[in-house]
Structure 1
Amino acid sequence: MKKILFTGGGSAGHVSVNTALIPEFLKNNWQVSYIGSHDGIEKDIITKKFSEVPYYSIASGKLRRYFSVKNFTDPFRVLIGTLQAYLKIKKIKPDVIFSKGGFVSVPVLLAAKMARVPVAIHESDVTPGLANKLAMPFATRIYTTFKETLQYVPEEKSACAGAIIREELFQGTRDKGIAFSGLDQTKPIILVMGGSLGAKGINTTVRNALDELTGHYSVIHLCGKGNVVENHNPDYIQYEFVSNELPDLIAASDLVISRAGSNSIFEFLALKKPMILIPLSREASRGDQILNANSFVQQGFALKLEEENLTTESLLTTVRQLRDQQWEMIEKMEAAPPSYTITQMAEEISQLAKNNGR
């Protein structure tokens, strides 16, 4: 039986590709294991979704771009995590390791290099995150989501795979989404997503614009945990988050307002949903969402609204622009080059295992 070890965590985006690929390997009778952090979001996602996949926790440290006392202690946690990962790898004996990134992946990939296990990395953003930058020297193969990313990674071991989209997203239906939300199916629907934790600025602005928006649209708002407010507008429905119903809600939606996380926006692209992207500002991030949004705007897949310029009026103006451009946008999305399918990505990873000769 072939064995694969997955790693990645710290955010939902560092887990979603793993959760898309794991069922493919289980279906093909691989033995699947996962290494993540003790208390990261990846532990909750993997253990709940895949009871048959053993989850191993290791110590991990975050490498910050700002001053913190933890910058002096976390390197030792990385060393401890590397030793823990090495011992797990030697026990599991995986044929290949797949990493989606996040700081927990750094000690795992360092340990993989020591144990001489081939490693595939998938990078979501236009410019690689710090964790993947540190891990790239230990990688056998690097896959990027954006073609632009190839200029930032070693050419000889890299390829653009595009986004790996969960199969269940293609199985959603508009009728089920309408039935679940209870919204008026005669109006076009806007889906608002602020990320897994929600986005206060987006939430507030959308609600301030509701009277105008719901004169023309119904609105589905995924606002984040603890962010639901009292509301009596029949054309506005809120959820903290959804899981199994998300494919149906996306299928029911005509337009999307979203952050610019790579996984989400490529899912909207795959499903041909015209979008307004409101990326995290440089003050709140390393600027990766801004670059993601810029790429989609340049390709004609989206409109961008900077968070610093986000007001009720600017949002309404941009929604009107999106409405006017939506069909042209859909045409450009239909002409976009396809990403690897889950089967293709799994075959690429399997080939690394074969080349390892285990």
Structure 2
Amino acid sequence: METIDAALVGFGAIGAYAHCKALEELDEFKFAAICDLTPARLTIAQDSYPNIVPYANYEALLSDGSVGLVVLATPSAHHERQAIQAAEAGKHIVVEKPMCLSADGATRMIDAARANNVCLTVFHNRRLDADYRLVKQTIEAGLIGEPIVIESRTHECGYIGYAKEYVNWRLSKSAGGGLVYDWGPHIIDQTLQLMGTMPSSLYAILMSKMYYEETDDYFKIVLRFPNGVVAQLESTLFARFKLPRWYVLGTDGAIWSEWDGAKIRTKVAGFDSEIHTDFPKDRNTRFHDNANEFYRSVHAAITSGTDPPVRPQQIRDVIRVIEAAIESSESGQVVSF
């Protein structure tokens, strides 16, 4: 098995929590380097992973000929430029979500990867979540008939990573902060994967009420699809009561799913039946298992030429939806595609 030397760029919360652990654990990769512009973070990275080569300069990292894969876990506004630089240096690329801040930027990233014959993918690990997989499998199996309404949400309350006293780039609009660029990419992507197509129109509300000033700490996006299905997506940081992660109504049943389990109401041979499911393992363990599964697929894409685990063209559509949601919220109008 070919081992790929991998480097992380951006030793922040998600870089340390998700990417480092996967790259360190998997035999498919040698965790070779970490790049961060903040000296204190780079020191912590060296203490945590003493075998890595530290870089305080991104261009210096790209000049390291031994590095085959670059993982970008930097502020979102930097993703486009850094991914294009990595592609031009001949590096394969994993980009944290959001892929970038515009659909045009996503196209430039895709073009750069194609021109330099490197793999480009985006860390949409939530495609592997147990709750999403159950919803997808239930719909595809026809257990609730044809879907009519899909509700998908993430409800948090005072999530510490976003509180005002933790001033960071997520509070900055120009850096790509806010919930619509944080949870938005995940739940939009899951919905587009469920439907297999772009919506025909959307209406959105983005608000800054509790924790943010210039970026949103609440959003609601209502998508209407060509087949008539309506999807309502919502995320907030001030939900003192939480609604279910998923609530799906179909012609012959319904799904109610939380993070750790679900119940399905379905008609079987004309009789109502209720199915209860508990997801295996705790939520954090599942998160790390999913990250490992994602990176195994990245390795296969690089070494065997298989499709990457997440095709960047699909995520360009996610960015199109986010751009339309921002436009709708600012104008108060429905946006059509």
**Range of TM-score over shorter length:** 0.3 to 0.5
More strand by share: 2
Higher RCO (CA-CA < 8 Å; seq separation 6+):
2
What TM-score comes out, normalization by structure 1 length? 0.41
Q: Which structure has the highest helix share of the two?
A: 1
What is the TM-score normalised by the length of structure 2?
0.43
